Structures are given as structure tokens and as C-alpha cells.
Structure 1
């Protein structure tokens, strides 16, 4: 899937694009069921909230066939390669749960700062591209973005190991207030199947979810091949060391996988 000239212009200016319903309800259901199966079993790759509910399932593309397809899906890989002008590899793969009633916050931060400080990523030539697995509503902790904040480069951040169960390099309130005064805040919402892509230096965060509506999102962190990490400090299931370029998955691969499973069960 290639981005249009208008989408490329918006990404360059605002630091993000959102494409509603980029994946069909049938494709979403395949991914949603795979996510539920993963969260139902304890694994070292699943990070829990302080309350004990799942927060993030890392690296599930390495042990789950559905997410192995997703990690190389052309609707995700091609737009990122289009922006970078070269092939990409998976730096990180995760499903964020944001569980009903107890999904915790994600503090204001820039992703590249963590990738640089913790993984030795040389440049912000990596970004997140994500798929909504549930309807993302204004009330269930949508991701909030600060448009144009990527133009500030990597901003000085502090290592927050106390607010949530997951350590993160975060921004102070005064910095966030200044950036929001300049660019505002947007919170892309929409039906399951929506696709969100944003710059590695775009400031973002999300509030907790105290509603009955879960908000699961798949995140692929794709990096340009020329931007491979050099000094990783985190486990390889968080910051991958496999720099194999992506490709080779058909656009209808999720439904083909579903159909093959049905035939095998008959």
C-alpha cells in the first residue's frame, strides 16, 4: 500500500497520518483472536500492569503465525519504506492491551529517545505503524499526539521507572505544555481496523482506561536497514537483533491463513 501525495505531505508536516478502516472486520477478527489467545497465557514477553492485568505483549510475531504475517504485511511495511526510501526491519513488535477498567497511562514521550538511549539506535529513521484491534473511542484511552512536535528533534527526557510498570523516557510537564501550545493535541479515533503511523520523534501519550471498553492496538516499530541498533541494553524480545529486511507477504495473507485453518479443521 502506497501513500498518496497528500498523505505524504501531511506526514511531513504534522508527523502522523491516520487511515480509517485500513483492515477489514474479517482481518481484524483474525488478529483480535490471536491477541486474546496470547494474553491468556503467561510468557516472559508479556509485561503486566501493576494491577496484574496485561499491558504489552512483545515479540508475538516470533511465536504466533498471525502476527508473523502482520509483521511483514504490505499495508504496514510499504508506507514506512516509502517514507525512508529503503527497506526496513522490525525493531520492535508489540500488542498494547489497555485493558477495560484497569489499563494504565502511557506518559508523554518520544519513542526515538528510548530507542536511542536503551538500544543504541543511531538516528530517528524508525517509526511506529499500528492497527486498531478494537474501536478506539474518545473515552477508552486513545493515543494523543502533539502535531509537528517531531520538528523539535530528540528532546531531553527523564527515565521514569515509577509511574507505571514499564520504564520509559518521559518529558516534563513544562515541555509538554510548550509543545501543546504550539501544535495542540489530536487523538485519532475510529473503528477497529484503523491504521496510525507516526514519526519516531512525535510526542505522544495516553490516559488510563476506566471504561468497560478494551483498547488493543498492534504496534510495529519499523527501522530503516541502515539504522540498525548498535548498543542494545534490553532483551532481544524488546529490541530485536534480527535485521532481516521485510517482504514476501501477500496482501490477502491474513484471510488466506484463516481459510487454511478452517480447511484443516474440517
Structure 2
């Protein structure tokens, strides 16, 4: 799947792009089932809220066939290769969950400072691709992004280990306020199966979820091959050390997987 000239221009200007209904219903349902299976497991890669509800599951592509297919899906990989002009490797794969009623916040941050300071990623030639596994609504803790904030580059941040279970390099209130006063805040929302791509330096965060509606999102972090990490400090399941180019799979591969599941 190639991005159009208009989509490329939109990404360059705003720092993000939303692709609605990128994955058909049957494939999304398989991914939703896989997410439930992953979060039911008790392993080091699955992190939980204080009340035991799942918050994050890392490296799911290593122990879930559906996630493995998603991590190499050409619908996600090709646009990133198009933007970077080179092949990519998988830096990270995870599923983030905002449990109904108890899903916690994500502080305002950029992704690249964490990848740079904690993993030794040289440049912001990597990005997150978010696949909506549930309907993302204005009320159930959607991702909030500050348009055009990627144009400010990597901003001064502090290592916050107190307010989330996952340490982040977070931004101070004044920095966020100044950016929002200039650019506003948007909340890309949509039906399950939608895809959100956003720049490594886009400022983003999310509020808690106190609704009855859970919000799960699968994230691929794809990095240009020339941008491999050099000083990783985090476990391999968080920051992968395999810099092999992603071997892309097609929607047909996913359909064949689903057919095999039905047959089995």
C-alpha cells in the first residue's frame, strides 16, 4: 500500500496520518482474539496496572501467529519504507490496553527521546504505526496529538518513573502548553481496523479511561535499517536487536492464516 502525494504532504505538514478501515473485520477479530490470549498470559513481556488489568504486552509477534503476521504486514511496512526511502527493521512490537473504567494515563511525550536515550537510536528515522483493535472514541482514552509538533525536533524531557508503569522521557507543562497554544490538540478516532501513523517527534499522550469501553491498540515501531540502535539498555523484548529487514507479508497471507484457523 503506497501513500498518495496528498497523504505524504499531510504527513509532512501535520506529523501524522490516519487511515480508516485499513483492516477488514475478520482480520481485526483475529487480532482482537490474539490480544485477549496474550493478555491472559503471565510472562515478563506482559505488564499490568496496579489492579492487575493488562496495560502492555511486548514482543507479541514472538508468541502469537496473528501478531507475527501483523508485524510484517505490507499495509503497514510499505508506507514507512516509502517515507524513509529504505528498508526497515522492527524495533518494537506491543499491544497497549486501556482497560474499561481503570485504564491509566500516558503522560505527554515524544517517542524518539526514549528510543535515543534508552536504546541508542541515532536519528528519528523510526515511527509508530498504531492499529486500532477496538473502536477508539473521544471518550475512552484516545491518543491525543499536537499537530506540527514534530517540526520542533527532539525537545528537552525528563525521565518520569513515577506516574506510569512504563518509564518515559516526558515533557513539562510549559513546553506542552506553548506547543498546544500554537497548534492545538487533535484526537484521531475511528472504528477498529483503522491505522494511525505518526512521526517519532510528534508530541502525544492520552487520558485515563473511565468508560465501560476498553481501548486496545497494537503498535509497530519500524526503524530505517541505517538507523539501528547502538547502545540498548532495555531488554530485548522491548528494544529488539534483530536488524534484519522486515520480510513483508500480504493480506492474502493473513486470509490463508484465517482459513487455516477455521479448518483447524
The TM-score range, normalised by the shorter chain, is over 0.9
**By how many angstroms is 1:49 displaced?**
1.5
**By how many angstroms is 1:253 displaced?**
2.1
Deviations 1:164-198 (A, max 9, x none): 21111100000000000111100000100000000
Judge conservation of contact 1:30–1:254 (CA < 8 Å) in 2. Answer: no
Partners in 2 of 1:142 and 1:252 — Cα distance? 30
2:209 is equivalent to residue 227 of structure 1: no
**By how many angstroms is 1:120 displaced?**
0.2
Partners in 1 of 2:47 and 2:10 — Cα distance? 34
**By how many angstroms is 1:53 displaced?**
1.1
**By how many angstroms is 1:50 displaced?**
2.2
Structure 1: 5+ residue stretches without partners: none
Aligned to 2:246: 246
2:102 is equivalent to residue 102 of structure 1: yes
Matches within 5 A, 1:17-36: 17-36=17-36
Measured on the aligned residues, the alpha-carbon RMSD in Å equals 0.7
Matches within 5 A, 1:113-152: 113-152=113-152
Query: TM-score, length-normalised on structure 1?
Result: 0.98
- Matched pairs, number: 264
* Secondary structure in 2 matching 1:169: strand
* Secondary structure in 2 matching 1:121: coil
Matches within 5 A, 1:193-212: 193-212=193-212
* Secondary structure in 2 matching 1:156: coil
* Secondary structure in 1 matching 2:128: strand
Aligned to 1:185: 185
Partners in 1 of 2:165 and 2:203 — Cα distance? 20
Aligned to 1:7: 7
* Secondary structure in 2 matching 1:97: strand
Matches within 5 A, 1:25-174: 25-174=25-174
Judge conservation of contact 1:19–1:195 (CA < 8 Å) in 2. Answer: yes
Judge conservation of contact 1:49–1:164 (CA < 8 Å) in 2. Answer: no
Runs of 4+ displaced beyond 6 Å: none
**By how many angstroms is 1:36 displaced?**
0.4
Judge conservation of contact 2:77–2:248 (CA < 8 Å) in 1. Answer: no
* Secondary structure in 2 matching 1:134: coil
* Secondary structure in 2 matching 1:242: coil
Partners in 2 of 1:209 and 1:254 — Cα distance? 31
Partners in 2 of 1:30 and 1:54 — Cα distance? 19
**By how many angstroms is 1:261 displaced?**
1.7
* Secondary structure in 1 matching 2:98: coil
Query: TM-score, length-normalised on structure 2?
Result: 0.99
Judge conservation of contact 1:228–1:243 (CA < 8 Å) in 2. Answer: yes
Partners in 1 of 2:22 and 2:68 — Cα distance? 18
